[in-house]
Structure formats: structure tokens, C-alpha cells
């Protein structure tokens, strides 16, 4: 018996040593070094990889130094203030660059440097390529063969936004998109002020506010620890912060579950809002009877609710905030929009057909999206070894698309790319720059944002009603 126990203990010890060797030596030391060498052979250079820490300390230091940087209100090149490491490394490594960031961190703060095609970095043990060429971006985002999928998401962010349209891929994405699409058809988006809070889920403002608050707290927790080095398994320890995070996750799950159960109990699922559409689509009719052919499970519907509560609220509020800022800085445009609103909508509540006539309003909103995009970075990874431009990528190499950098590319947007100029959109989105797919605020087909029509209509409605009643300055 004792010998059997010794053998078992020896086996467990050997397994533990093997796992430790695989993780600490292979994943955190040998593999990153091999990746650096492979990309250097292809002409990609950058900051050195440091064991476990990556470039976290450098990023933290540069961001702390940039905190005191003040920008003129008409200076819209905020990159030196927000992502100074991007600016420094781009200048230092010119065309191609590689750098590292501590493992298990949220992707959109790590990346950079470009050449007119790509750049390499390490997200801890995970190599990342930053591309800064629109044609390569098109190959990644508009690939009809789905050779590139979304990168794995930080666990806290996944709990916040759920496994909805924004995070799933492949057949799962197609299934979710099919169910959700009818809710965003233009004939469904006939918004007025008194129904806008119910458009997505038919819920009250108070219920929605509780969901937003829980998600905001999770967001703050995530952003506050982006550059911290986290050890494997740390997220499972009952620390004070982890217990608070688990409480928020459970609260969010329970609130959305109760909302769905109340809707099901009332037997009123089809009010044309997003939740009603998803609940109706959960069953198909056959021979006059409902069959239990579930299209989206309750958990999947909850995840979609998380996605649209957060994405729909956070992105639109971001767009409205910066629109108000820009109209304060450029009062001549504020007056132009006010005249347009009063001409097309009068002083009453705007209707959908009125909002569609607000051409200059659309131009200003699109220019705001260009300069202050709610999404700074998009991340994708190849599902197999492949070539992108002249660069050989391995399966899983994360590709980072830096939207603010692309939106300031003077070769595409012209010499005044850093300036606020709504007139560039006078003839529509596809003619605003030298290439038709230059604006990435809503990504690009076939994975473009399903809620873009809703977001633009909502933003127009809010701005129209503000302009009808108020003028504003900084």
C-alpha cells in the first residue's frame, strides 16, 4: 500500500514538474524567444521580451509620464497622451517592430508599431502583429473564408459582455446573427423619445440602469489591473477583489435572468424589441404547434443581453460625449446643425423620417467616429499558419488593428487627417477617403456592427433634441 502511495505521489510530482517546465520554461521563456527570432528573420524588430513582465513596466512608466500632457482643444491627435508607447516605438522602430506585454492582459492596450503592413509584439507568451495597412486590414476583416477569428477575451470582460455576437465566431456567430438581425431592420427602428429606453429590451430605465452600473463596475476593475502581472490560477483565489468581482458577475446574471423570466411569464415576447425577437426565435412553429427546437438557449440570450446592454450603451454614450465636445469647440458647426434640425424637425419630437434628412448631422457624427472611435483596437488571429502580405504568421498569432492610427493615415485621409472636418463625408462614407473602407468605426463587412443603424439613429435623435432646446460650450 505504501509503495502504491509513493508511486502515486511520484507520478503527481513528475506531472507537476512537467507542467511547471512547460509553462515557465517553454511558454514564458523558450517560445517567446523563438517567436522573436522568427520575426527578426523577417525584418521585424522592437523592444526586447522580458520574462513574464513583457513591456508592462515600460508602458506603465510612459503612461505615467504622459498623464501631465495637456492638449489644445483643437488638437485631436491624442495618441501621445493615451498610448505614448505606440508613438515612441513607432518612431524608434520605424517600419517594423516587436514588443511584449505581460501575459493574460486585455488586448487593446498592447500593440503597435507598424510598417505599411504589420508589426510584431508579444502579449506575454502570445505573439501579436500590429498591421497598419488598409489592404491588410481588409484581408483580415473582410475574409469570407473566416481565416481569422476573434482573440480570446479577458475573463472579467467576458463576464461583462457575455458570449454574444461580439465574441463568438464561426457557426455560433452565424446562428446568433440570424436570430438577432430582424430586431435591427430599419423598419423596426422607428424611434421616438418616449420609447428609446425600451427599444432594446422593453425594460424600464431603472432596470437598465442597474445592469449598466454592474457592468461599469466590472469595467473599472478590469481597466485598473490591465498592466498587472497575474499568476496562473490567481483569478480563482478568494481575494477581496475576486470576491467583489464574483458578486458583480452573479448580480448581473441574476438581473438579466429575472428580466427574461418575467417576460416569459407574461407570455408577451414579441413586442418588436431585441429581447422579444430573441425569445420568439427560440421556438419554431411546425404543423401549428411550437416545437422545442431551441435556437438560442436562455444562457445565450442572457449573453446577448449583456453584449447589447454594454455595447449599445457604452459606444453610443461615447459618441454623444465627443460630439458634444466637438460642437462646443467648433460653434459654427453647432449652429449649422441647429439650423438643420429646426428646419427638418421643427421644435417637436423628431420622427424617423425627419432624422433621415439630417445630412450635416450625419457628417458630424461620422467625423466624430473617425477622430474618437469608441473602439481603439480590434484583435484577430489566424486559424492556421498562413501568409499575410509578406509576413508569415503562425496559427494563433494575434493581429492587432489600431483604429486611431489608421484613421489618421494622411496617405488615405489627406494632409488634414488630424483635423475636424465633417465636409470630408459630404458625399458619403465610401468617398470620404482615398479608399472606400477607410472608416472602421463599425468594422467592415461581413462582421460589421449589427447595431450601427440603431446607434446612428439613436445619436441623431438625442443630438436633435438637445440642439432644439440648448446651446452649449466648454
Residues making up the binding site for heme: 449
Residue 289 phi, psi (nearest 5): -125, 150
Distances (CA, A) of 295 to 173, 278, 281: 12, 9, 7
Task: Give the whole-angstrom CA distance, residue 100 versus residue 85.
Answer: 12
Contact 100/35 with Cβ under 8 angstroms? Answer: no
Angle in degrees, 0-180, between the axes of helices 452-469 and 298-329, rounded to the nearest 10: 40
Task: Determine the distance from the C-alpha atom of residue 362 to the mean position of all C-alpha atoms in its chain, rounded to a whole number.
Answer: 22
- The DSSP bridge pattern shows strands 126-130 and 398-402 to be parallel
User: Residue 334: CB partners within 8 Å, gap ≥ 6?
Assistant: 327, 328, 467, 471, 472
| DSSP state, residue 153 | P
Task: Report residue 221: phi and psi, to 5°.
Answer: -60, -40
Q: Are 14 and 62 in contact (CB under 8 A)?
A: no
Element (H, E) at 369: helix 359-371
What is the rounded distance in angstroms from the CA atom of residue 216 to the CA atom of residue 243? 17
Calculate the alpha carbon distances from 87 to 77, 120, 220, 224 in Å: 11, 15, 25, 22
Find the largest Cα–Cα distance for the chain: 91
Q: Please, is 385 exposed, middle or buried when counting C-beta atoms within 10 Å of its C-beta (0-12, 13-18, 19+)?
A: exposed
Q: Which residues are annotated as a binding site?
A: 449
Say how far apart CA 313 and CA 324 lie, in whole Å.
16
Q: Minimal CA–CA distance to 312: which of 154, 457, 466?
A: 457
The DSSP H or E segment spanning 285 is strand 284-286
Residues in the chain: 474
Residue 474 CB: number of other CB atoms within 10 A?
A: 7
For residue 249, what is its C-alpha cell? 458577475
295-299-305 Cα angle (round to 5): 90
Do 356 and 380 meet the contact criterion of CB atoms below 8 Å apart?
A: no
Q: Which three cell numbers stand for residue 274?
A: 431585441
Q: Does 446 sit behind a cis peptide bond, omega within 30 degrees of 0 on the bond before it? A: yes
Amino acid at each position: 500500500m505504501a509503495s502504491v502511495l509513493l508511486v502515486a505521489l511520484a507520478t503527481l510530482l513528475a506531472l507537476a514538474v512537467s507542467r511547471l517546465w512547460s509553462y515557465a520554461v517553454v511558454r514564458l521563456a523558450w517560445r517567446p524567444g523563438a517567436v522573436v527570432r522568427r520575426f527578426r528573420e523577417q525584418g521585424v524588430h522592437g523592444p526586447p521580451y522580458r520574462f513574464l513582465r513583457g513591456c508592462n513596466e515600460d508602458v506603465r512608466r510612459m503612461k505615467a509620464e504622459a498623464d501631465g500632457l495637456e492638449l489644445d482643444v483643437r488638437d485631436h491627435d491624442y495618441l501621445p497622451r493615451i498610448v505614448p508607447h505606440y508613438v515612441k516605438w513607432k518612431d524608434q522602430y520605424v517600419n517594423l517592430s516587436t514588443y511584449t506585454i505581460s501575459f493574460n492582459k486585455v488586448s487593446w492596450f498592447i500593440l503597435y508599431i507598424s510598417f505599411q503592413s504589420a508589426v510584431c509584439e508579444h502579449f506575454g507568451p502570445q505573439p501579436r502583429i500590429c498591421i497598419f495597412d488598409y489592404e491588410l486590414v481588409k484581408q483580415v476583416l473582410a475574409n469570407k473564408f473566416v481565416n481569422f477569428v476573434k482573440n480570446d477575451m479577458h475573463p472579467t470582460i467576458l463576464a461583462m459582455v457575455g458570449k454574444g455576437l461580439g465574441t463568438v465566431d464561426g457557426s455560433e456567430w452565424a446562428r446568433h446573427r440570424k436570430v438577432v438581425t430582424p430586431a435591427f431592420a430599419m423598419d423596426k427602428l422607428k424611434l421616438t423619445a418616449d420609447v428609446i429606453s425600451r427599444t432594446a429590451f422593453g425594460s424600464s430605465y431603472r432596470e437598465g440602469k442597474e445592469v449598466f452600473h454592474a457592468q461599469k463596475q466590472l469595467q473599472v476593475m478590469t481597466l485598473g489591473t490591465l498592466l498587472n502581472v497575474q499568476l496562473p490560477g490567481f483569478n480563482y483565489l478568494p481575494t477581496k477583489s475576486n470576491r467583489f468581482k464574483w458578486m458583480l458577475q452573479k448580480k448581473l446574471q441574476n438581473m438579466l435572468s429575472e428580466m427574461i423570466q418575467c417576460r416569459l411569464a407574461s407570455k408577451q415576447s414579441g413586442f418588436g424589441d431585441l429581447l422579444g425577437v430573441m425569445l420568439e426565435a427560440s421556438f419554431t412553429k411546425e404543423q401549428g404547434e411550437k416545437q422545442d427546437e431551441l435556437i438560442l438557449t436562455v444562457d445565450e440570450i442572457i449573453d446577448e443581453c449583456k453584449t447589447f446592454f454594454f455595447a449599445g450603451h457604452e459606444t453610443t454614450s461615447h459618441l454623444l460625449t465627443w460630439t458634444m465636445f466637438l460642437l462646443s469647440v467648433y460653434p459654427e458647426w453647432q449652429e449649422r446643425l441647429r439650423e438643420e434640425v429646426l428646419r427638418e424637425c421643427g421644435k417637436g419630437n423628431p420622427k424617423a423620417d425627419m432624422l433621415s434628412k439630417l445630412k450635416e448631422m450625419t457628417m458630424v457624427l461620422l467625423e466624430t467616429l473617425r477622430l474618437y472611435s469608441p473602439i481603439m483596437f480590434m484583435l484577430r488571429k489566424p486559424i492556421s499558419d498562413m501568409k499575410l502580405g509578406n509576413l508569415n504568421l503562425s496559427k494563433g498569432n494575434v493581429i492587432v488593428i489600431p483604429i486611431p492610427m489608421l484613421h489618421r493615415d494622411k496617405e488615405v485621409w489627406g494632409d488634414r487627417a488630424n483635423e475636424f472636418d465633417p465636409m470630408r463625408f459630404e458625399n458619403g462614407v465610401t468617398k470620404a477617403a482615398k479608399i472606400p473602407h477607410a472608416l472602421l468605426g463599425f468594422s467592415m463587412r461581413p462582421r460589421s456592427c449589427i447595431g450601427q443603424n440603431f446607434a446612428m439613429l439613436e445619436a441623431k435623435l438625442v443630438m436633435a433634441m438637445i440642439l432644439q432646446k440648448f446651446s452649449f460650450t466648454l
